[in-house]
Amino acid sequence: MKGLKLLAMLLALTCCLSACAGGGDVSTPTTESSAASQGGESSAPETSEEETLGEFKTAFRFLVTSDNHVSATTDASAQRLAQLFKSAYAYAETQEYGKIDAFVAVGDITNYGQAYEYTAWKNVVNANVKAETQIITVMGNHEYYGNLNNLQWGVDSYIQNMDPELNKHVVVNGYHFIGVSTYGEGDYSEDISWLESALAEAAADDADKPIITFQHHHIKDTVYVSSEWYANESAQLDAAYSKYSQVLNFSGHSHGPINNPTSCYQKDYTLFGTGTLAYFEMTTGMTYGTVPPGADQAGQFYIVEISEDNRVKVMPYNLLTDDFFKTSDGSEQLVYAIDNLKDKSTWKYTEAARKGWNQAPAFEDGAAITLGKVSSAAVEITFPQAKDDECVYSYNIVCTAGDQKKEFNYFSEYYFEPMPETLTFTLAGLAAETEYTLEVFPVDVYGVKGEAIKSSFTTPEVEKVEYSSQNPVNFVGTFTNFDSKSYISPSGGNMAYGGSANGDVFVGSWNSAATDANSKFELTQNGYNGSNALTVWSNGRDNQGLYLFATEQNKNTTKYPSTAYLRVWVDFTDVEFRKANFGLVAPSGDLYTTDESDNVPDLFFYYLPEGGDTWQEYKHGSDGCFGADQASCVKGFKGWMAFPVKDFTYRYGTGSGTGTSGEAYPLNEIAGVYLFWNYSSGTPEGTKFTLDEIQLVEDYTVFEEYNQ
């Protein structure tokens, strides 16, 4: 979701530069600080009396944030940005050294790099920053998203609306800050020589002081999530930084939690992943993808202090609790401490140092799994959290029946404070009438797995359902084929986001029950074999939600003998999607889509061209969608498409709100069929496409005629 996936999650989201009287100027770097006393009220966080590094006399303090993703001052992330300053100044005022000398924003300041977004971000900052604090920013990839086909547009927008300099070498009270802006999604190729010169200049000025460096993307295979999200020129950046052990490097992009201990990494210099004020996104491999439940509850940044003798404390702060993060047992403040930047033998965050003392996580004596509802395809389980010397990262859950094994992986939710004492998950996609052995293994942040707690259960038989359509249909398993329709009634809302299904079709917002005047549909005779069908288009380019409902009025079928596949006849002759995906709506309004299955390597769908006799296999992209941005183009498709329902998983917060993210669709009853879509950059607004013969079937290759 670091790219345009933000459009499918949390879009909460005028040109002149202005600065508040008495506040730091967002646009023009300065080299000295001056005292000021304005700022909002905030309770000062409590800190430990014991300094991690012994006697520590602070000589310099700065803040680091990343991935603010601000579009408007009303955004949750914008409000957290304002709180960041209030909390940081409140803390500083309790210290002997009472100032904050600099504030660094490491890219993805905005969602699209638009002038109004920069204005919103600056308005928040200027209303809360003191004159003593130097503001320093660089571009991230989202600063280019206002016009994906023109990278220069993103550069020009940043220069005109944020800062005339893309790369930064600013000296604040004798400390060098060196920042590099990305060019597009992660290209730093034009900046390496500039960076090398800036680093050499900083080191020549004072070889002992820390050099603070930053770029939006991680250096590959260093901090948390950097094995998956990193700068294209990681090797060149790393080679430049590695010449100076006094480098402190800050990067963002991944949205990984900064209280994860692997967010600090040391080898030839020290690196930090910088977190987010918008939403969490983490490593692949979890059942619910990279974005966990409650991902929007993220507000993290660093307060960094440098002592008079060049020791360093990097302190992760949690805006949602308005306090510093604690160690895993909650007893102490979490601090990443560097006692000697030049003596690597003292470094505590190298791979070798961590391997020397890391222990496997373990459940406490008496810990047990509690079984909840057991259905023919799923089981609900609850278990207590395991313990670890540093951090329990996730749980590997294994259901075994004979030689058949099904695995699930879920985060421990360590990124919330306090961590929940117990976790509850629904394990779906199981076989009916089967006895399972259940094992839950704790896993720490280094991938070390502890001993499992165990249980067992048996799934009951599948409910027997005989298909019975009240509408004229061609094939068994048809939800609707529009043949009995002379008019399609619009719905004023949708069940998934708090609305009601008071019509046949809802078109509008993808993440609310709000209709969209640009969203259009009509009944045409362009469907399967020239029959009635639903034709859809938009006069805008926003993300669209399309819902087809079963109601008493339209008599669409709700119960099916099998829901193994959703099969749909489509005419995409003229349209290409940027991203699109199908899904199902449960009677509770819970929404299940492939968009929730991020980075699943075997997320397939199938296509049978009109007039053809051979089904073709395709693969969804990394965001669980098909379309131009997913290397899964469907332009020109006309015929049948089929999607495994097992790949439709629960979208957090929809419907009843009680579903479990990553849970596969568990029922043989549906209330609606869903399509998320928007146009690709090459498809004109108003381009129409058609859907027909929407079905739930056991085998997508079999067309069983239905005789009523």
CA pair distance 583, 568, nearest whole angstrom: 11
**Lowest-pLDDT range of 318-332, 381-395, 556-570:** 318-332
Beta-carbon count within 10 A of 124 CB: 24
Q: How large a percentage of the chain has pLDDT more than 70?
A: 92
pTM of the model: 0.77
E strands present in 604-651: 604-609, 616-619, 638-644, 649-650
Report whether the peptide linkage leading into residue 210 is cis, meaning its omega lies within 30 degrees of zero.
no
DSSP H/E element including 565: strand 565-571
How much is the average pLDDT of 218-245? 97
Convert the pLDDT of each residue in 548-596 to its tens digit: 999 999 999 999 999 999 999 999 999 999 999 999 999 999 999 998 8
> Quick check: 29 and 170 in contact, CB under 8 A?
yes
CA pair distance 146, 417, nearest whole angstrom: 35
pLDDT at 687 over 50: yes
Residue 148: its pLDDT value, please?
66
**Angle subtended at Cα 190 by Cα 184 and Cα 196, rounded to the nearest 5 degrees:** 125
Convert the pLDDT of each residue in 237-261 to its tens digit: 999 999 999 999 999 999 999 999 9
Residue 14: its pLDDT value, please?
33
How much is the average pLDDT of 256-270? 96
- What are residue 127's phi and psi, to 5 degrees? -80, -15
pLDDT at 42 over 70: no
CB under 8 Å to 231, separation ≥6 — which residues? 182, 186, 188, 215, 217, 218, 219, 220, 237, 251
The pLDDT-based confidence of 3 (bands split at 50, 70, 90) is very low
The pLDDT-based confidence of 53 (bands split at 50, 70, 90) is low
The pLDDT-based confidence of 293 (bands split at 50, 70, 90) is confident
Q: Which domains does the chain have, with CATH numbers?
A: 4-28+56-357 (3.60.21.10), 370-458 (2.60.40.10), 478-697 (2.60.120)
Mean pLDDT of the chain: 90
Convert the pLDDT of each residue in 612-645 to its tens digit: 999 999 999 888 999 998 889 999 999 999 999 9
CA pair distance 288, 285, nearest whole angstrom: 9
- What are residue 313's phi and psi, to 5 degrees? -125, 125
> Quick check: 111 and 6 in contact, CB under 8 A?
yes
For 100-116, give one letter per residue: b (16+ CB within 10 A) or e: bbbbbbbbbbbbbbbbe
CA pair distance 270, 222, nearest whole angstrom: 10
**CA-only gyration radius of the chain, Å:** 27
pLDDT at 15 over 50: no
